[in-house]
Amino acid sequence: MDGSAPAPAALAWPDAIFAELQRWGVRQVAYVPDGGHARLIRAVHAEPTMRAIPLTTEEEGIAVLAGAALGGQRGVLLMQSSGVGNCVNMLSLVKSCGFPFLALVTMRGEWGEFNPWQVPMGSTTEAAFGLMGVGVRRADRAEEVAETVAAAARMVFEGGSAVAVLLGQRLIGAKVF
Amino acid sequence: MLDRRDVVARLLKDRDEALVITGLGAATYDVAAAGDDARNFYLWGAMGGAALMGLGLALARPDRPVVVITGDGEQLMGIGAFATIAVQAPANLTIVVLDNGLYGETGGQRSHTSGGTDLAAVARGCGIAAASRVTDQAGVEALAATIAKPTCGLRVVVIAVDPTEAPRVLPSRDGAYVRGRFQAALGLAA
Ligand SMILES: Cc1ncc(C[n+]2csc(CCOP(=O)(O)OP(=O)(O)O)c2C)c(N)n1
Ligand SMILES: [Mg+2]
């Protein structure tokens, strides 16, 4: 992805997310890699005040961030929509204990998706979060990403809520093979 | 064979500043039996999450020793945690797996550690060099001697314990209360 020249908007929104995470003092960034988050993940690894935590499966991140909150640090979970179902039972930790929880989810299976295997979870991502009481916000245009992440971060870090921001596939661009 | 209650009581006797996370089931009861403490966080669910919660806490509080006490079944459900934790390698994290070879809470079905899985070897294979199996009191004493040090390096200690069930000692199941109490003990606003 480094070889081609992405559109300016495609460059801007991951950087806007990174700036918000810095502004909110996020220290632990747990993730399962996704192409849509690649630029943000690189920025996190390069940032000495942030701890990049690659996971083997998404639900690990719920427990890691609960531990971070228990010790007074802020964290965020980055993943793609296909990982949300993996999180369902582990979210009982957030629900039972009232831990703050912020997830930034890149959507697959909803806009120009060529891989039908992404559709079942992509079409139920919001419902899966809803099952466990995690609030969902969406950003489908580059210019609304920063304010959506900022609004979610305020609810989570100042209000103690559990919120997932879905970053629409239309924003990210359908994967082309 | 080592008695799980004796093992946990011995490990926590000299805990000093240690922060403790327990895996659901008997490990939670063992830690409660050793004495309730605001610096204990008891899991009653989130199976597979105990060691990972310890990771997040250990990274947030590098000044404090963090001790996870869990069961073989709980750790098997989160077996990828060893790989995730190895990458971070916090020097203040100790993961103690009480290995009775079975799923005690659910009726005593044989677990994979009775069927050939060596959790210490799995941890080593994931990159945690200091992963060992303890089968005697000398091993428990050696661990107890350093449990309160936050600079011992990441370690996984699988302790073979007698499969006999101990009487249940139930700590609070109110997760929000236990969280708030723990955070207050660390001087944090809950
Ligand atoms: C996701 C999930 N699956 C299954 C269970 C049921 N369950 C509760 S405790 C437990 C086994 C715990 O075994 P172990 O960690 O070895 O504890 P011990 O043998 O010490 O009781 C199981 C399977 C559960 N609580 N959550
Ligand atoms: Mg067991």
Question: CATH assignment of B4-185?
Answer: 3.40.50.970
Residues 6+ apart with CB under 8 A from A72: B60, B61, B183, B186, B188
Q: What is the pLDDT of residue A2?
A: 44
Instruction: Say if A133 falls within a structural domain.
Output: yes
Instruction: Say if A128 falls within a structural domain.
Output: yes
CA distance B79 to chain A (A): 9
Q: What is the pLDDT of residue B190?
A: 64
> pLDDT band for position A173 (50/70/90)?
confident
Is B188 in contact with A72 (Cβ distance < 8 A)? yes
Give the span between the Cα atoms of A46 and A52, in whole angstroms.
9
Q: Which domain holds residue A57?
A: 8-172
For ligand 1, atom 6, name the residue with the nearest CA: B106
> pLDDT band for position B189 (50/70/90)?
confident
Pairing of strands B109-110, B102-103: antiparallel
A128, A88 Cβ separation under 8 angstroms = yes
Q: Where are the alpha helices (DSSP H) in chain A?
A: 8-23, 38-45, 59-70, 91-97, 119-122, 125-131, 145-157, 169-172
Instruction: Say if A20 falls within a structural domain.
Output: yes
The predicted model gives A97-114 an average pLDDT of 96
CA distance A129 to chain B (A): 16
Q: What CATH number does the domain containing A55 carry?
A: 3.40.50.970
Instruction: Say if A158 falls within a structural domain.
Output: yes
> pLDDT band for position A12 (50/70/90)?
confident
The predicted model gives B35-63 an average pLDDT of 98
Instruction: Say if A82 falls within a structural domain.
Output: yes
Ligand 1 atom nearest to CA at B70:
15
> What are the residue boundaries of the structural domains of chain B, listed by start?
4-185
| Chain B contact set for A76 (CB, 8 A) | none
Q: What is the pLDDT of residue A7?
A: 53
| Chain A contact set for B52 (CB, 8 A) | 60, 63-64, 67
Q: Report ipTM (2 d.p.).
A: 0.98
Question: At residue B53, does pLDDT exceed 60?
Answer: yes
Residue B111: CB within 6 Å of ligand 1? yes
Domain count, chain A: 1
Q: How far does residue B74's CA lie from ligand 1's centre (Å)?
A: 6
